[in-house]
Amino acid sequence: MKIGIVGCAGRMGQMLVREVLVTDGCELSGGTERPGHRALGRDLVIASGLDASGLIVQEDTSALFQASDVVIDFTVATITPYHVALAVKFGTNLILGTTGHDESQLSSIKVAAERATIVKAMNFSVGINTLFALTQQLAETLDDGFDIEIVEMHHKHKVDAPSGTAIGLGEVAAKGRGVSLADVARRNRDGIIGERNRGDIGFAVLRGGDVVGEHKVIFAGTSERIELGHIASSRQIFSAGAVRAALWSSHKSPGLYNMLDVLGFGK
Site residues for ligand NAD, window 123-152 (CB under 6 A)?
123-124
Cα distance between residue 221 and residue 158, in whole Å = 32
Measured from the CB of residue 235, what is the shortest distance to ligand NAD in angstroms? 6
**Active-site residue, selected from the candidate residues 154, 215, 216, 230:** 154
**Active-site residue, selected from the candidate residues 101, 158, 175, 252:** 158
Measured from the CB of residue 91, what is the shortest distance to ligand NAD in angstroms? 20
User: Could you say whether residue 7 binds ligand NAD (CB under 6 A)?
Assistant: yes
Each residue 233-252 as x (binds ligand NAD by CB under 6 A) or -, in order, gives: -----x--------------
DSSP string, 183-239: HHEE----SS--SPPTT-EEEEEEE-TT--EEEEEEEE-SS-EEEEEEEE--THHHH
Of 87, 232, 264, whose CA–CA distance to 163 is shortest?
232
Helix-strand-coil split of the chain, %, nearest 5: 35, 25, 40
154 as an active site residue: the answer is yes
Side chain identity, residue 7: G
User: Could you say whether residue 34 binds ligand NAD (CB under 6 A)?
Assistant: yes
Element (H, E) at 2: strand 2-6
83 as an active site residue: the answer is no
User: Could you say whether residue 98 binds ligand NAD (CB under 6 A)?
Assistant: yes
**Residue span binding ligand NAD (CB under 6 A) among the ranges 6-14, 103-111, 148-156, 189-197:** 6-14
Indicate the SS3 state at residue 96. Answer: strand
User: Could you say whether residue 170 binds ligand NAD (CB under 6 A)?
Assistant: no
Among 6, 70, 88, 151, contact with ligand NAD (rule: CB under 6 A): 6
**Sign of the CA dihedral running 43, 249, 74, 79:** positive
User: Could you say whether residue 45 binds ligand NAD (CB under 6 A)?
Assistant: no
Among 22, 52, 76, 106, contact with ligand NAD (rule: CB under 6 A): 76
Side chain identity, residue 103: E
User: Could you say whether residue 231 binds ligand NAD (CB under 6 A)?
Assistant: no
Cα distance between residue 263 and residue 126, in whole Å = 8
Asked if residue 136 lies in contact with residue 176, where contact means CB atoms within 8 angstroms, the answer is: yes
**Residue span binding ligand NAD (CB under 6 A) among the ranges 70-78, 142-150, 168-176, 177-185:** 70-78
What is the β-pairing status of strands 147-154 and 213-220? antiparallel
Measured from the CB of residue 8, what is the shortest distance to ligand NAD in angstroms? 7
Among 53, 58, 68, 75, contact with ligand NAD (rule: CB under 6 A): 75
- The length of the chain is 267
User: Could you say whether residue 9 binds ligand NAD (CB under 6 A)?
Assistant: yes
Q: Which residues are catalytic?
A: 154, 158
Footprint on this chain of ligand NAD (rule: CB under 6 A):
6-7, 9-13, 32-34, 37, 61, 74-76, 79, 97-100, 121-124, 238
